[in-house]
Amino acid sequence: MPVTNTEIAGELEKLADLLEIEGANTFRVRAYRQAARVVGSLGRNVAEMVAAGETLEGRPGIGADLAGKIATIARGEKLPLLAQLTAKNPPGITALLDLPGLGPKRVHALRDSLGIDSAEKLKTALEAGKLSSVPGFASGIIGKLKEVLAQGAGAKPRMKLAAADEIVEPLLAALRKTQAVAQAEVAGSCRRRRETVGDLDIVASAADPAPIMAAFTRYEDVKEILGQGNTRASVVLRSNLQVDLRVVGEESYGAALLYFTGSKSHNIELRNIAIDRGWKLNEYGLFRGTKRIAGKTEAEIYQKLGLPLIPPELREAEGEIEAARAHRLPHLVTVADMRGDLHSHTNETDGSAPLATMAEAAKSRGYAYLAVTDHSRRMTMAHGLDPKRLGRQIDAIARLNRGFNNFTLLAGIEVDILEDGALDLPDDILRRLDIVVGSIHTRFELSEQKQTERLLRAMDNPLLNIIGHPTGRLINERAPYAVDMERVIRGAKERGCHLEVNAQPERLDLDEHHCRFAKEIGLKLAISTDAHDPAHFAFMRYGIDQARRGWIEAADVINTRSLPELRKLLKRS
């Protein structure tokens, strides 16, 4: 089985962490992190690219040396430098970098002074009062560390949804090829499309479970078998992700899939409905006494309980049962509803491909339009556009559009929102654009009040159409900046601006709760991929997942509209 992009990115991140702890050059560390992001967000399998003779050299931040190292990892080989640093530093030490106040120097000091190389050892040392003897550890830092460790910080982070998909999809394909397997599907939080996954649950149906159990435990990616019985097994994969398999008869498949999909709270509500009718609902079916009255499909169980089938994304016990009873379940947005993408980058800034290539990739997905929104000049690391270069790009887009049929490139910009809420480019160049996306890329540390006012002042400019990745978070890497999102969402609605659901797997920003609040007050959203490569357009599915969890329908999304309708929605009075 090819090495996955997630594994390659993980090795690069590990190398960056260890180099940082060793006090390596900042630019060197940053280069490995940038390479990890490129690999992790690539829509193609890097190992397959390398096997075909392709290279990542020339992509943003990746030169010949780094491309060679990526190829080494992709071939399943170990980097000598990583092996050397790993031998010197136990696995748990890199997790310490995620704790507040623990930069590389302090982690280095903890290791050298007290032998602390894991969150568990740190917690023990804190309880014993040992940190006060280590230079650089004042009472404030010690108090904060005690607080966050008590709240569970330092535990193994959940895997991003896209990374879990990369692992489970080939596993499911292998299981479905097994003799006598009728059905097999992922359940749990992955099926509910939560943004992160703790482990994976797979439910399968088969008359004879033995062949699928053998295929599962012998799967080439299995690192360790934790347990195996006649109808259930648990393994750990090469990625350290735990996967549990449950095999049932076809008559119980729907009940098992419903039960293991969850959420627990949703299942409790369904069981209570069954109990009120004198029935019993469990993973084997819906029973009246000892007679199974439903269980083959989820739909028939919901129907017997007097409900329509509730989509997995909504099964969180957040009003979906009541909505189903009242026939008010939303008709959730789908990938097929999308008419275009409103946030993308080219190689004019930090993208990998030119205008024409990005346009052709969007056209091939059946889109009617694509907004090209390269970075503005403040993003110097991304070679952001100044007014002169942006003007040239606007002209280039106009020339390309003359050759298109039933497709339009929209001239746009992802303009930086400065600390005072001003936009990074003057109004006279912004007026020439079809669309302006405004984003925060700096000064994440501002107070909630200042950050909120910053966004509201930016939206006061009538040339701004969309706020990109509105909370600035990177899942498992960077928390959202402090901001009153209720005020921002209300402020966008009042001003005729829109907010983005950024589909990049490491962002998924807005989250589902903000999506739902936006829907409740009537604010329409944009679901966009922030594509930096043609393959990134495939990430639209993750933005759709996030929006569906927020109860979003096609009518709530501006880029489900035709181009004339979109232009009307973008026009601010």
Q: Is 230 in the same domain as 263?
A: no
Regarding whether 465 and 356 lie in a shared domain, the answer is yes
* Lateral strand order in the sheet of 466-467: 340-341, 369-372, 408-416, 435-439, 466-467, 498-502, 525-528
> Which residues face 133 on adjacent strands?
none
Select from 541, 570, 512, 539 the least CA-distant residue to 194. Answer: 512
- Looking at the structure, tell me whether residues 316 and 390 fall in a common domain: no
Number of domains observed in the structure of the chain? 4
Find the CATH number of the domain harbouring 61: 1.10.150.110
Say if residue 564 is in the same domain as residue 489.
Answer: yes
Reported pTM? 0.83
**Helical (H) or strand (E) element with 244:** strand 242-248
CB 368 within 8 A of CB 562: yes
CATH value at residue 213 = 3.30.460.10
Assign residue 347 the CATH number of its domain.
Answer: 3.20.20.140
**What is the bridge-based pairing of β-strands 196-197 and 159-160?**
antiparallel
The DSSP symbol for 153 reads T
Round to whole Å and give the CA distance between 318 and 316.
5
Same domain, 403 and 509: yes
**AA letter at 239:** S
Cα–Cα nearest to 160, from 315, 341, 35, 5? 5
Based on the domain organization, do 170 and 85 belong to the same domain? no
Residues 94 and 186 in one domain: no
Structural domain boundaries enclosing 530: 335-570
Residue with tokens 């078998």: 225
Is-contact 339 369, C-beta < 8 A? yes
CA dist list (Å): 326 to 323, 330, 333, 386: 5, 11, 20, 54
The answer on 45 and 16 residing in a single domain is yes
C-alpha to C-alpha distance for 342 and 546, rounded to whole angstroms: 17
Instruction: Look up the CATH number of the domain holding residue 313.
Output: 3.30.210.10
Q: State whether 452 and 348 are in the same domain.
A: yes
Can you tell me which residue has the tokens 């050299």? 57
> Of 106, 123, 150, which residue constitutes the final position of a domain?
150
What CA–CA distance (Å, rounded) separates 414 from 416?
7
Question: Is the same domain home to 173 and 131?
Answer: no
Instruction: Please indicate, yes or no, whether residues 231 and 268 belong to a single structural domain of this protein.
Output: no
The token pair that represents 352 in the structure block? 């990998």
Domain's final residue, options 245, 267, 291: 245
84 shares its domain with 42: yes
pLDDT by position in tens, the chain (length 573): 678 888 898 889 889 888 888 888 888 888 898 899 888 877 788 999 999 998 888 887 888 999 999 999 999 888 888 888 888 777 677 778 777 778 777 888 888 888 888 888 898 898 888 988 888 888 888 888 888 777 665 566 789 999 999 999 999 999 999 988 999 999 999 999 999 999 999 999 999 999 999 999 999 999 999 999 999 999 999 888 999 999 999 999 999 999 999 999 999 999 999 999 999 999 999 999 999 999 999 999 999 999 999 999 999 999 999 999 999 999 999 999 999 999 999 999 999 899 999 999 999 999 999 999 999 999 887 789 999 999 999 999 999 999 999 999 999 999 999 999 999 999 999 999 999 999 999 999 999 999 999 999 999 999 999 999 999 999 988 889 999 999 999 999 999 999 999 999 999 999 999 999 999 999 999 999 999 999 999 999 999 999 999 999 999 999 999 999 999 999 986
Whether 56 and 70 have beta carbons less than 8 Å apart is answered as yes
Which residue bears the tokens 């690539």? 42
* Contact of 417 with 440, CB cutoff 8 Å: yes
Strand pairing report for 200-206 and 242-248: parallel
Those residues whose C-beta lies under 8 Å from the C-beta of residue 148, and which sit 6 or more positions away, are: 99, 100, 154
Of 199, 227, 245, the domain-final residue: 245
